[in-house]
Amino acid sequence: MILHIAKKEFLNNLLSARFVIGFVLCLVLIPFSLLMNIDDYREKSELYHLDRDAAEARLKSTRVFSGLRPEIVLPPEPLSLFNRGITGQVGNRVKILLGEKPLLAEGRAATRDNPFLDAFFSIDFVDIAAIIFSLLALLFSYDAVTKEKESGTLGLQMSNPVSRAPLLAGKIAGILLTLLPVLFFSFLLGAVIVLLSRDVAFRGLEWTRIGLVAAVSIIYMTVFAFVGLLISARSRSSVTSLVVCLFLWVFFVFLVPNLASYAAESFVRAQPRDNLTRVLADMDKVRDEEISARAKSLPKPDWDMNWYSNGGADGYIENYGCSKSYFEWYRARAILSEPIRLDTADKKWAPQKSYLDSLNRQARAAETIAMISPAGVLRRIASALCGTDRRAHKADMDRTHEYRETFIRYLKGKDIFASFRWFTPTPPETFRTADELIDLRSGGRFKALPEYESWRVEQKDFRAQFEVLRKVKVPGDKPDDFPFIDLSDLPRPPPRPASLRLGLEGSVAGIGLLLVEAIFLFYLSYVAFLRYDVR
Amino acid sequence: MLKTVLKREIQHNLYSLRFMVALALVLLAFILGAVSFVRNHEDALAKDRLARAEFLDKMKEDATKSLTTLAVTKRDYPLRPRDNGFIYDAKEKYLPDAITFSAWNVFGFRNRGGSVNPFLAKHDEINWSFIVGLILSFVALLFTFDAVSGEKEARTLALALSNPVSRGALLFWKYLSAIVSFVFVVTPGILASLLVVLFLGAANISASLAAEVAGFLAVSVLFAASFAAFGLLSSVVSRSANVSLLLALSFWLLFAVVIPNSSAFLAKKLYPIESAKAVEAKVNAAHGDLSKNAPPGSWSMNYGNPFMPLHELRANLQMKLLQAEKAIRDASIQAMSRQFEKTRWLTALSPIADFEGLTEAVVGGGYPRLLKVWKDLHAYQGQLLAFFQALDAQDPKSPHWYNPNEDVSTTRRPVAFETVPQFTERPMSLADRLKPAIPFLLVMAISACLVFFISFILFVRYDVR
């Protein structure tokens, strides 16, 4: 009997305009969203390869260990083309520094070329699914009861020896039977587009994840079908039911997700980034002052002259052609400064973490409020399964933190802060005293430093003071005389582990919620239908 | 007769369930949005005070060092959050919010990064423009989608036409009544939101606010007219209200979801611009070229002796570097603007995008505002440069070799901070606001008329049986 009713409902629906238009909508919107996102993914992959190669090249062209700063470039998540999650908002590059732990990834691919385009929003497969599937579910269920009442066939059916429960079950089965092909077709279409695309290749695990998203979409659709059924069973006319359904649709699918983020942004405060920047800069200042204060007590070098010198952020220094005592001074300074730098990085983590926590709190509040809407729940589950949510990003960032520790252990294992190789590739046995250098460079014109100095202060021409030292080239006084560091023993950052665990963990609560909603709504519509006045 | 039709239609709309539900939903959205705005704005203002204080402190500090330091230091001018953001935020959160300048150049803009939480998905703020553009457009469609086909199904259409009223008039009054009903939904929402905002002290009653509210209402009515026309069209195209509804929904999805969300993709595909990497490479190449061909000794530096002749070489070199970089970057920024503007033209197909463009003009925010500050800051930069050069000319200890990056070969006297010209952003004038909005206005008005006209023709041929 149930089958009979289901078949009737199904055939009824199949021939209706809404089925055709719904199908056409899927046929247009799904490829549209996927093609857009595949293009976006291709761009991200290209950038990833460029960035990774550039980082690798930079790493390999280092001659001193103080300039060694590995950069982790996070690969784009292939499933981001089904659900972008926060991947468009967070960056993909993390530089491993000694003076600071990684805070947020840099380099957002989306707006690198034109920041104005940030004012435009984009949409993905799951967004489309959330919009279309809920709309179709409501459109097929809003008049499930009322239409037959209006046309008078409901009373007729009831006159058959069939109780209301199987009738309702048959109707539900009929609706789901109509909706499921559309859903399967949409996912199939998505899969075909992915398979045909040359820019993206899915492995087994990714297909599993998409399969799970499809399964969750079925529950999502069912929830909305029950919402429509409930409203239908509580309304006297189809028009009333329709109007209520559509307003609920706009409310849940369009208003709530935006409202959730906006309310969270307004009521759960995130710390200002400027504040953190200032606090960190102040801590850096304190650190630098401490380093230079303590460096004052170091024995002065006899001649503080760098023949070639380079330096930069995070304690990078690279020196060539210094006198032996100046090299010694640099080494003593590194022994003193680098532990302080590492120590400050640990101290800086407290305000950094409190800033990150405030961002996370805000985002969590938005996610929680968005759970009011099944569309919010679906998006959350999908982004967890696709590995594009906060958890996945946090796992990525946690790995960068671990890698930083590994890198520091690697440096300490070489006792590198106490080594000359920290700031110069010049072997210590070739170091020369200031007098030797002066003698060599001036081609014997000056035998010792004081001799040169007393001559130098009398020279008016600034450049002539140094021209005299260029007479003879001393080997090892510029970078090109040395090879790059051998990095064969440098530990490499671990790749992103392929596992479903994180995705399942992040989605289990949402799936449970959707199921509970579906059952609850089913019960309500069942009760409402039992009490329905068929006249 | 016409009055009767209008009265009947409006009453029909106002007493209907959809009106009640729409009103409830819209009021809820307006009030929640307003309360959120007040809190959000407080926060934004606090952040802005911090940024502004820092900006001024840095400037004061530089002024006490020397006038040259003040002139050559690059600074970020922070854009102030707008008080009328509850009408429309114009997505300013995602747009650049600081412009970098020195006395020698306006370099570029950037998003200081404090305005957006990267862990929060990109979202719209619940402001008037969002509510009207997304929700009330839906309501406008709901008021009209069954205006004809619904009456046909209820068999009252033939009855109505048996009266001495022309089809055109009937359709027009139906159209008008939908717009009037729309106003009945919007106005309470706007009033509620205004009350919240005024009561909580986030805005003050002023002539400009009144003008903006009036402007917003006017634009909203035009917008409603545009969507109601599409609703009527879907109503007369089909013989059944069901199909009309689906058509109307498809229109809405196209305008509210598809077109706005494909903009960034279309921009990149249809109007590609040079990548940031390519621009950077160009700048580096120009720098390398100039530095390599610079006269020897250009990089020699002796801070103790400003008059060292080599300083003049470097001043010239730095000036050339600045100009070369400026040419490349300005061209790149122009390309960005063109790409953005062209894309917006394309999205003007959607009345919702037009509406956003128009409300942007009403509140004087978003992209046009950024462009205006960008332009005004160029004028200010000229002023600052003239100020610097005038004072430098009076200093006998300065060799007057203008170097845009260093404080070596120009005056080293400090300057009283109070005398330094300051930049303040002025609100956009009416002309500033209108100019970028006129195309949107035209597109929306013309499309509304056109769609209504098509509906009219179809309705004249409509089979009322």
Residue B281 sits at the chain A interface (C-beta within 8 Å) = no
Nearest chain B residue to A264 by CA: give it.
Answer: B36
DSSP 3-state of B249: helix
Residue A408 sits at the chain B interface (C-beta within 8 Å) = no
Report the C-alpha gap between A223 and A228 in whole angstroms.
Answer: 9
Which single residue is written with the structure tokens 């049986």?
Answer: B465
Q: What is the mean pLDDT of chain A?
A: 89
Answer whether residue A109 shows pLDDT above 60.
no
Report the C-alpha gap between A441 and A452 in whole angstroms.
Answer: 11
DSSP 3-state of B296: coil
Nearest chain B residue to A86 by CA: give it.
Answer: B121
Query: At CB < 8 A and 24+ separation, what contacts does B394-398 make?
Result: B397/B306, B398/B306
Q: Name which of B123, B142, B310 is nearest A246 (Cβ-Cβ).
A: B142
| Strands lying side by side in the sheet with B106-110 | B75-78, B98-101, B106-110
pLDDT at B149: 77
Q: Name which of B36, B135, B336 is nearest A250 (Cβ-Cβ).
A: B135
Nearest C-alpha of chain B: how many angstroms from A357? Answer: 11
Label the pairing between strands A316-320 and A308-312.
antiparallel
Answer whether residue A86 shows pLDDT above 70.
yes
Amino acid found at A195: L
Answer whether residue A96 shows pLDDT above 90.
yes
Residue A506 sits at the chain B interface (C-beta within 8 Å) = no
Which one has a higher pLDDT value, B409 or A10?
A: B409
pTM of the model: 0.91
Domain map of chain A by residue range?
Answer: 2-273+354-408+492-530, 274-353+412-481
CB contacts of A40 in chain B (<8 Å) are: 265
CB contacts of A39 in chain B (<8 Å) are: 265, 268-269
Nearest C-alpha of chain B: how many angstroms from A195? Answer: 21
Which single residue is written with the structure tokens 């309500």?
Answer: A524
DSSP 3-state of B99: strand
Tell me the Ramachandran region of residue B400: left when phi exceeds 0, alpha when psi lies from -120 to 50, beta otherwise: left
CB contacts of A32 in chain B (<8 Å) are: 258, 262
Report the C-alpha gap between A359 and A265 in whole angstroms.
Answer: 9
CB contacts of B54 in chain A (<8 Å) are: 274, 278
**Residue contact B242–A17, C-beta within 8 A:** yes
SS (HEC) of A471-528? CCCCCCCCHHHCCCCCCCCCCCCCCCCCCCHHHHHHHHHHHHHHHHHHHHHHHHHHHH
Interface of A with B in 310-329 (CB under 8 A): none
Q: Per residue in A177-206, pLDDT tens?
A: 889 989 999 999 999 999 998 888 888 889
Nearest chain B residue to A250 by CA: give it.
Answer: B135
Angle at B132 between CA B129 and CA B136, to 5 degrees: 165
Report the C-alpha gap between A93 and A85 in whole angstroms.
Answer: 18
A88-97, A320-329, A372-381, A473-482: least confidently modelled range: A473-482
Residue B130 sits at the chain A interface (C-beta within 8 Å) = yes
Nearest chain B residue to A19 by CA: give it.
Answer: B246
Report the C-alpha gap between B29 and A497 in whole angstroms.
Answer: 43
CB contacts of B242 in chain A (<8 Å) are: 16-18
Number of neighbouring beta carbons within 10 Å of residue A339: 12
Residue A366 sits at the chain B interface (C-beta within 8 Å) = yes
Nearest chain B residue to A30 by CA: give it.
Answer: B258
Residue B15 sits at the chain A interface (C-beta within 8 Å) = no
Residue B210 sits at the chain A interface (C-beta within 8 Å) = no
**Spacing of C-alpha A533 from chain mean position:** 53
pLDDT at A470: 81
DSSP-derived letter for residue A429 is G
Residue B39 sits at the chain A interface (C-beta within 8 Å) = yes
Is A106 within 8 Å of A196 (Cβ atoms)? no
Q: Name which of B21, B120, B249 is nearest A366 (Cβ-Cβ).
A: B120
Q: Name which of A113, A259, A274 is nearest B276 (Cβ-Cβ).
A: A113
**Spacing of C-alpha B376 from chain mean position:** 17
Binned at pLDDT 50, 70 and 90, residue A110 comes out as: low
**Residue contact B118–A259, C-beta within 8 A:** no
**Residue contact B277–A104, C-beta within 8 A:** no
Which single residue is written with the structure tokens 């209504």?
Answer: B452
CB contacts of B38 in chain A (<8 Å) are: 266
Is B431 exposed, middle or buried (CB count within 10 Å of its CB: 0-12, 13-18, 19+)?
A: exposed
Q: Name which of A43, A120, A264 is nearest B263 (Cβ-Cβ).
A: A120
A174, two tokens: 């009929």
Largest CA distance in chain A: 122
Answer whether residue A150 shows pLDDT above 80.
no
B255, two tokens: 């305008």
DSSP-derived letter for residue B89 is -
Mutate to test the interface with A, among B120, B279, B314 (most CBs of A within 10 A): B120
CB contacts of A466 in chain B (<8 Å) are: none
For residues A480-496, b (16+ Cβ closer than 10 Å) or e, as one string?
ebeeebeeeeeeebeee
Is A395 within 8 Å of A296 (Cβ atoms)? no
pLDDT at A239: 81
Report the C-alpha gap between A530 and B269 in whole angstroms.
Answer: 56
Q: Name which of B117, B126, B247 is nearest A362 (Cβ-Cβ).
A: B117
**Residue contact B267–A120, C-beta within 8 A:** yes
pLDDT at A60: 92
Residue B23 sits at the chain A interface (C-beta within 8 Å) = no
**Residue contact A246–B117, C-beta within 8 A:** no
Is residue A320 within a helix (H) or strand (E), and if so which, with residue range?
Answer: strand A316-320
CB contacts of B134 in chain A (<8 Å) are: 250, 254-255
Q: Name which of B32, B95, B124 is nearest A118 (Cβ-Cβ).
A: B95
Residue A88 sits at the chain B interface (C-beta within 8 Å) = yes
Can you list the residues of chain B whose pLDDT is less than 50?
none
Binned at pLDDT 50, 70 and 90, residue A420 comes out as: very high
According to the per-residue pLDDT averaged within each range, which of A112-126, A301-315, B358-372 is highest? B358-372
For residue A317, report the phi and psi dihedrals to the nearest 5 degrees.
-140, 145
Report the C-alpha gap between A476 and A471 in whole angstroms.
Answer: 15
Strand partners, B78: B98
Amino acid found at A218: I
Amino acid found at B435: K
Binned at pLDDT 50, 70 and 90, residue A66 comes out as: very high
* Selection from A209, A183, A196, A179 nearest residue A34 by Cα: A196
According to the per-residue pLDDT averaged within each range, which of A67-76, A449-458, A460-469 is highest? A67-76
Query: At CB < 8 A and 24+ separation, what contacts does A530-535 make?
Result: A530/A164, A530/A165, A532/A145, A532/A149, A532/A164, A532/A233, A534/A149, A534/A154, A534/A155, A534/A158, A535/A149, A535/A155
Query: How does DSSP assign A104-160, residue by residue?
Result: S-B--STTSS-GGGGGS----HHHHHHHHHHHHHHHHHTTTTHHHHHTTHHHHHHTS
DSSP 3-state of B297: coil
Amino acid found at A533: D
Q: Name which of A17, A239, A265 is nearest B243 (Cβ-Cβ).
A: A17
Q: Name which of B117, B123, B308 is nearest A258 (Cβ-Cβ).
A: B123
* Selection from B288, B354, B41 nearest residue A267 by Cα: B41
pLDDT at B145: 85
Report the C-alpha gap between B93 and B433 in whole angstroms.
Answer: 20
**Residue contact A243–B17, C-beta within 8 A:** yes
Interface of B with A in 52-81 (CB under 8 A): 54
Report the C-alpha gap between A12 and A17 in whole angstroms.
Answer: 10
Label the pairing between strands A308-312 and A93-95.
unpaired
DSSP 3-state of B101: strand
Interface of B with A in 379-418 (CB under 8 A): none
Interface of A with B in 112-131 (CB under 8 A): 112-123, 128, 131
Q: Per residue in A228-250, pLDDT tens?
A: 999 988 888 888 888 889 999 99
A332, two tokens: 């003593």
Mutate to test the interface with A, among B100, B119, B143, B373 (most CBs of A within 10 A): B119
- B225: Cβ–Cβ under 8 A, 6 or more apart, which residues? B175, B179, B448, B452
**Residue contact B54–A274, C-beta within 8 A:** yes
